[in-house]
Amino acid sequence: MKKNISRIVPLFMELLLSALWKRKANSSLFEQVYADLWWDILKYAKFQKVVALVYDGIQTLPEILKPSQELLIFLAVHTEIIEKRNEKLNETLVELTRIYKEMDCSFLLLKGQGIALYYPDPLHRTPGDQDLFLYKENDYLKAKQWVERLGVKMEIESPKHLGFDWQNIHVENHAKVAQLNNSVKNRSFQQYITTAVEQAETCKLGNIDIRVLPPEANAIFLFAHLFIHFMKNGIGIRQLCDWILFLQANRHKIEAASCIIHLKSFGLLKPARIFAKALVDKMEAPEEIFPFFIENEKKMSEKIMNDIWEGGDFGLYRIGLSARPHGKWGGYWHSFSRQSNRACILWRIAPNYFFNSVLKRVWLRSVLTITGKG
């Protein structure tokens, strides 16, 4: 499929964007699409975590141009699995809300089911983890102790969050929403989020109200989150869909001047403008949804999209990513080399962030090795 990606991407994007923007797909593009290519498009949609959206796009095609009944059934089954998974996440979120309330723990919902509400069909967003921001230190500790008492499978706790499996759902209790790799800018970012929590809003999920970040802070957080992952290994199309649809729905609630000031103070304004250029050019995003001017960096915006098209969800399908050596030090070197190479290719998007990311990884790996934690 890698060899055929130049043929797959335009067709995949047309189907995705037709679903995203609730329009009909351009049927003329699909007049010479045969079975093997259709299956490649489906596999690629799985790589990018947008199967249900691509299925929605296919439904807008004339019957004669749709793929085989076998593939349509396959897509319908996968879409139903995504719907059921979303319903399960919604149910567990209601249950977690009850449990945390009984423990007197306050949390904000990050990404996930809160962002799904902005999709044309909220059940068609491919779900991930359940991310909860326990913004009070004591509440984070209480929730951590509850998880420990459960005796469930837990990840190694990071400075940012503690992940665990509960009722077949992966939950992450966050002490911080995100961690910028520049200490000065990160300090400013954490203070901003602390203040933003005081203006938290609620979204309706079923018959309960869930607290979420206010629109400006949520827009900045969504970009910071996707950009951090982009720097490290890459992101998929789903993360871009989240940001676009959130901005589209909340553009009148975000004050441009304030958003620009804060993005600039976190060192994220230039990369946000370059990403916006990519989304306007390649994903039909209206310029007016962005609370800042678009950066006219066509070359870099194309590099961003090519990186995302090649890498898939969190860069997991990039050529060579699966070739990580089994040995401990060989694995460390493989990760360092890969991220260093990304920095050399993409540094112009945000020079300070990319080079800091590499240096921080060397420092963190050294500390973990010396302390025996990694």
| Domain membership flag for residue 134 | yes
> For 41-55, 181-195, 258-272, 354-368, which range has the lowest pLDDT when averaged over its residues?
354-368
Instruction: Give the largest Cα separation in the chain, rounded.
Output: 63
Instruction: State the Cα–Cα distance between residues 250 and 39, nearest whole angstrom.
Output: 36
| Domain membership flag for residue 34 | no
Instruction: State the Cα–Cα distance between residues 248 and 244, nearest whole angstrom.
Output: 6
Give pLDDT, residue 61. Answer: 98
Give pLDDT, residue 145. Answer: 95
Instruction: State the Cα–Cα distance between residues 310 and 235, nearest whole angstrom.
Output: 10
User: 267: closest CA among 361, 161, 354, 343?
Assistant: 354
| Domain membership flag for residue 138 | yes
| Domain membership flag for residue 368 | no
| Domain membership flag for residue 260 | no
Instruction: State the Cα–Cα distance between residues 169 and 280, nearest whole angstrom.
Output: 35
Spatial contact of 8 and 40, defined as CB atoms under 8 Å apart: yes
State the sign of the Cα–Cα–Cα–Cα dihedral 316, 147, 222, 265: negative
Count of domains observed in the chain: 1
Give pLDDT, residue 314. Answer: 77
Cα angle, residue 281 at apex, residues 279 and 287 outer, rounded to 5°:
65
CATH (domain of 138): 3.30.460.40
pLDDT in tens, 356-371: 655 555 555 555 555 5
Give pLDDT, residue 159. Answer: 85
pLDDT in tens, 260-301: 999 999 999 999 999 999 999 999 999 999 999 998 888 889
Give pLDDT, residue 341. Answer: 66
Q: Considering the entire predicted model, what is its pTM?
A: 0.89
pLDDT in tens, 197-252: 999 999 988 888 999 999 999 999 999 999 999 988 889 999 999 999 999 999 99
Whether pLDDT at 346 is above 90: no
- Residue span of the structural domain in which 168 resides: 90-213
| Domain membership flag for residue 62 | no
| Domain membership flag for residue 124 | yes
Average pLDDT over residues 127-150: 94
Whether pLDDT at 339 is above 70: no
Cα angle, residue 202 at apex, residues 143 and 264 outer, rounded to 5°:
90
| Domain membership flag for residue 154 | yes
